[in-house]
Structure 1
């Protein structure tokens, strides 16, 4: 079972499951989860090979979807699901393979397609950090800055650092090996007929109009919205706007 943080109380509304992206963790969503927990139970799992969840050689979307299904089954059997990036792809496969578990679906800045921009350079950057010289998070940030220009990403990656044990809470070897699966999207059949929102950053190019026929082929009720001024990390760049979009789409 995935390590899952919970906040809020169960009630008449299905729980909200928030699924993080590559190199993330459930804790990354702590602020939004706490704010959304005013009216429902919110679940933020660590995906396999991330955070405090188990390590595995396989890291593909059917396996990740099955992991998420177990979390939902352990918390009542149905949930509203929000997934960002890698977590969005896992959430799509969950909805397509186990639609009875998903009440409403929000996909944040990703489409059911294969992408060509590799994320392997960030694994290489994290591997270059000399963890024996890290006694506080800023030590790792300083080392990452030599290989990663974006200060937001520097801070993001170091959230997955176990400073006490001088180790990454990421299975970097498995993620590197499975990168083709992470960038791709499995050949899945079927449709999810429930309410679905594809929420994108207006400055991101991850979800283009060219992808809409493929999206609607799997998600016929799909609606589309953009958050102005946000890129791929829309929930971190515009957290209040992201929260407002969730509340508008998810009835209580």
Structure 2
């Protein structure tokens, strides 16, 4: 499967960014740009997102294998893998299953455990599905129609980046039906008997409910060289809430000798 990606920077480190649910690779553009002297950053659209192809079913290990095959074909060397939320889960599964492809791993505000906080997407997906795309006339109209169900402007605009049009026809570039029907799997963590012994930076948002105290033990069992950092003022979208601090963490992680 040929994944869509955007390349930013020309540094010697090869870095692959994996976004969260209903995101797109380009969401990491403001993080990748300041890293350009250190790294060549590949901002990947996960399967079923952005301009990447869709799959018939959703499975975390299948998603990880698709990304792993893409890394093998396109980059042909171990990479620094940075994954947020769903992208963090895919990144962890990839590192555990194909460790030869991952030089180091950064996991952003997600853990190897079931995340009940992901249930918030139930109502969000329901709101998106309620839009009648056959009668929709503009993105502005879509924004207005969703305001009551999704009152947070930032969240609404983030989700609406998935709404595209060709001529007078509107469509979702994300696989809304599959992802909406797979929220239980997306929020879960299937058992896995493996260990990744490379360096891992685990970044938490201090205002986010996604990483809980009980998640530390399973994280350390799978990733024994894990170091945890919390950005206290950030919510779940850590890189958007604290961009300068997040970039500094990335630079330090890329430059650190392990």
Tell whether the structures are fold-level matches, with TM greater than 0.5.
yes
Q: What TM-score do the two structures reach when normalised by structure 1? A: 0.94
Q: 1-side partners of 2:219 and 2:66: how far apart?
A: 23
Which structure 1 residue ranges, 4+ long, deviate > 4 Å from structure 2? 132-136
Q: What TM-score do the two structures reach when normalised by structure 2? A: 0.92
Please give the per-residue CA displacement for 1:73-114, whole angstroms capped at 9, x wherever unaligned: 121221101000000000000000011111110000000001
Cα contact 1:95–1:192 (8 A) shared by 2: yes
Structure 2, unaligned stretches of length 5 or more?
A: none
Please give the secondary structure, in 1, of the residue aligned with 2:235.
coil
The 1:103–1:177 alpha-carbon spacing in structure 2 relative to 1, beyond 3 Å, is same
Please give the secondary structure, in 2, of the residue aligned with 1:110.
coil
Q: 2-side partners of 1:247 and 1:133: how far apart?
A: 47
Q: Which residue of the partner structure matches residue 247 of structure 2? A: 243
Q: Which residue of the partner structure matches residue 146 of structure 2? A: 144
Q: Which residue of the partner structure matches residue 127 of structure 1? A: 129
- Listed as ranges, the matches of 1:173-192 within 5 Å are 173-192=177-196
Please give the secondary structure, in 1, of the residue aligned with 2:229.
strand
Structure 1, unaligned stretches of length 5 or more?
A: none
Please give the per-residue CA displacement for 1:154-203, whole angstroms capped at 9, x wherever unaligned: 11011111134411111111112222211111211111111101101111
Shift of 1:133: 5.2
Aligned residue-pair number: 250
Q: Which residue of the partner structure matches residue 60 of structure 1? A: 59
Cα contact 1:137–1:163 (8 A) shared by 2: no
Root-mean-square deviation (CA, aligned residues, Å) is: 1.6
Cα contact 2:12–2:40 (8 A) shared by 1: no
- Listed as ranges, the matches of 1:44-193 within 5 Å are 44-73=43-72, 74-117=74-117, 118=119, 119-132=121-134, 134-164=136-166, 165-193=169-197
Cα contact 2:115–2:188 (8 A) shared by 1: yes
Q: 2-side partners of 1:235 and 1:133: how far apart?
A: 36
